[in-house]
Amino acid sequence: MTQELQWAAEAGYNTLRTNLPFVVWQHDPDGLMTRVEHFLDICQRVDIKVMLTLMDDCGFSGDHPFIGQQKQPIPGLHNSQAAASPGRNVVMQPYLWGQVERYLKEIIGHFAHDERIVIWDLYNEPTNRMIFTLAGEDAFDPALEEYSHQLMEKAFMWAREVNPTQPLTVGAWHIANILDLGAPIYQHPTDIRALELSDIISFHAYVPLDLMNKAIGLLKEYKRPMLCTEWLARHAESKMHEQLPLFNAEGIGCYQWGLVKGATQTHIPWPEIKRTDNDYASRWFHDVFNEEGTAYALNPKTWTSALLLFYLSPVFCRTHSACFQANALCIVIMDIFYNVTL
């Protein structure tokens, strides 16, 4: 982990986004906090700030989260063991939300004034029901969506009761992509509500350049700082050399998915793209370095050089007293807190 973050820092990355597992907090809250502190210390040594993501509906494995040794990745399947947080089963049982409130408030409260953390992403892709299989994609219970929407709203309320100095966000993510270019852009009720409640506008967009331009145009209407917190999917025409200049020109910080090609196999495309693309193996889907630290397809100095002098001006967040400031270099998402010995 230290080596990979050093590669990121040397390439010009200055912040990353990572998810925390509720189930580990349930069983060993002190241990999780210790590991988060250790991780933040490593990031600080290489001058990388952190966006912590507290909840996540992307249980692509189809399993509910469990403690202990995790299953091995399924060969050939994109992110096959991705686990949700707190878990779709918990999201659909509101009587358990008191535990989620304690988790959220304890984590945010502990780091509420910590300069190593630049922003809180309260909930990754609320209402995401997708399950990945070798045969394609399946979906979880449709009833999840209403529960997720309500839990997201409560997460904002709980976080603001803690009143951290860092801003809050939840990313809009329901958008057209290469599989359905005519789908709406951020018109899902949960996206609309997330954008209304967020101090910083954040969004996911694995889309071609023309759709990225359209999405940015729609989001500008909120007149708040913007972060693209997931992008880069080469088979979906979300390409670094095309879209980094756009982010730079628009003053938008960008977090691409994936740093080092590894066991999660996110260099393999989503199952539906893999199923329909006979040439899928000719290129990586996500990720930018191989296991030896060599950049894929591009020199990392090339892809960051256009952004090195760009700076997002300080602004006061809507509904928030804290001043948010961040370098708008390309950034990375990681998930590191699950496979641990308790």
Over residues 17-29, the pLDDT tens digits come to: 999 999 999 999 9
341 belongs to a structural domain: no
| pLDDT score of 299 | 53
pLDDT at position 50 over 80: yes
Number of compact structural domains in the chain: 1
220 belongs to a structural domain: yes
Contact 185, 211 (CB under 8 A): yes
Residue in the structure block whose two tokens are 């399946």: 138
Residue in the structure block whose two tokens are 């209407």: 221
Parent domain of 163: 1-333
pLDDT at position 101 over 80: yes
* Arithmetic mean of pLDDT over the chain: 89
pLDDT mean over 118-140:
97
| pLDDT score of 25 | 98
CA distance 263 to 266: 8
Q: pLDDT band at residue 297, thresholds of 50, 70 and 90?
A: confident
pLDDT at position 319 over 70: no
pLDDT at position 330 over 60: no
Torsion of CA 59, 190, 55, 122, to 10 degrees: 160
CATH (domain of 223): 3.20.20.80
Contact 259, 331 (CB under 8 A): no
61 belongs to a structural domain: yes
C-alpha to C-alpha distances, 256 to 87, 191, 229, 331, 332, nearest whole angstrom:
24, 20, 7, 6, 5
131 belongs to a structural domain: yes
340 belongs to a structural domain: no
249 belongs to a structural domain: yes
50 belongs to a structural domain: yes
| pLDDT score of 298 | 60
Amino acid at 164: P
Over residues 174-207, the pLDDT tens digits come to: 999 998 999 999 999 999 999 999 999 999 999 9
342 belongs to a structural domain: no
Residue 31 neighbours by CB distance under 10 Å: 15
